[in-house]
Amino acid sequence: MKNIIAILMAIGGLTMSCTEGSLDINLDVNSEINQNTVRIDTMRLEGFTVKEDSTYTSASGLLQVGSYTMNSKLDVSSEAYFQVSLPVTNYGAYNITETMVLDSAKIQLRLYGNIGDTTAYQTIRLHELLSEIPTSDGQLSNSSYPYEENYIAEKIWKIRPGRDTLVELTLNTATAQKIWEYYQTSYREDNPSLLKIIKGLLLKGGQNNTSISVFNATNADIRLYTHTQNTYIQYAFDFPLIVNNAQFNHYTYSSDFDKLNTLAPDEQVNASLMNNEFVLNSGLGLSGKIEIPGISQLKEITDLSGIHQVQMVLYSTRKSATESPTPPASLALYTINLNNEIEAAMSDAYGTQITGVYVYNPEDLVFTSYYTFDLTQYFKNILFYGIQNKGFKVLPADDGTVNGTFGGVYLGNSDNASFKAKLIVYYGQ
């Protein structure tokens, strides 16, 4: 009873800055768990979708091509831009004395994985760029460059996940011949720059694609098939397709989340503008962000002496086990600066990164799935150690799998009637 009276006295002595219906803190004074601890159920959370940069870039990154629909709410298309690399030596190292004839040239892409429905036929096309991609400037996820409408290679196929590892695109004759001529003369000092021959390439998906194909940039190759003119001895020459940092993925979003296209990287959209839910998929340039505006009010309206435990529950808005996207096995939290840029992994009192494991219950009338996080240390840092309350990012924890890299999930905001995010605080007096 003493605790309850103290809380009521504290409330009565203050003029609250928020009104009923938009409370940052809702005191439930009848939920004491022991004589010295009181529960606050629940504090208000603000959820945001943050547009990231093109996450997997540079010659050591990933090429993402195609389209993907996340739960009929968000359509994501990805295109891959890059410069093409050719070697600085010719086939003279093979001690070939006859005239060589080009048979064909192919782009070889190693498949890392797929995002979305792979049961339908998928199309990818290769286009030549009309201008160079600068290597000195970092490319953004909304960067783009003009290209030739007529494609120079096309591949239409039905992906067999787990079985298909190599995808080949045969270049048209004119493009293959340009590469071949450069290859034959690359050793000459007067040989023109490759960028004067091919300024760059773009991989685009077809309009009816239902998945995004993901390829490794590190082992993408160009292969030239040739033969000697007189004796018809066949030779194949391979060399890396991409070797510099002028490689990035361009994302386009539509449907309920078309506001994302107008944002620069690290800008955000409030969940209240998107059905009171926010979406995260780090592999497709989207992260979640949480703000808890009422933390400072804990000292104002309570006789606060310490934080016992803080628990945050974020509910996935999935309604069935088969609904896309497939949630990541766990989510990780990161501290950020005022520009929404990640500073470090959020840690608990023991220095361990704060994560939430995916939990689901398919037996409920409504499919229940959620993540639970311990924010005790986060609250202590703000209340007692002067750390600024800037919010934090939520991202899939990369477990080395395709779903860990590209897994996505919709999470409910505090104002979402069916999937209301919760924050429960146990504090001591």
Q: What is the pLDDT of residue 177?
A: 92
- Nearest one of 59, 83, 87 to 180, comparing CA atoms: 87
User: Is residue 78 very low, low, confident or very high in pLDDT (cuts 50, 70, 90)?
Assistant: very high
pLDDT at residue 65 tops 70: yes
Q: What is the pLDDT of residue 30?
A: 46
pLDDT at residue 181 tops 60: yes
pLDDT at residue 92 tops 70: no
| 33-41 average pLDDT score | 68
pLDDT at residue 16 tops 50: no
Q: What is the pLDDT of residue 74?
A: 85
pLDDT in tens, 44-57: 889 999 988 764 45
Distance CA(20)–CA(4), nearest Å, equals 20
Higher pLDDT, 244 or 15: 244
User: Is residue 183 very low, low, confident or very high in pLDDT (cuts 50, 70, 90)?
Assistant: confident
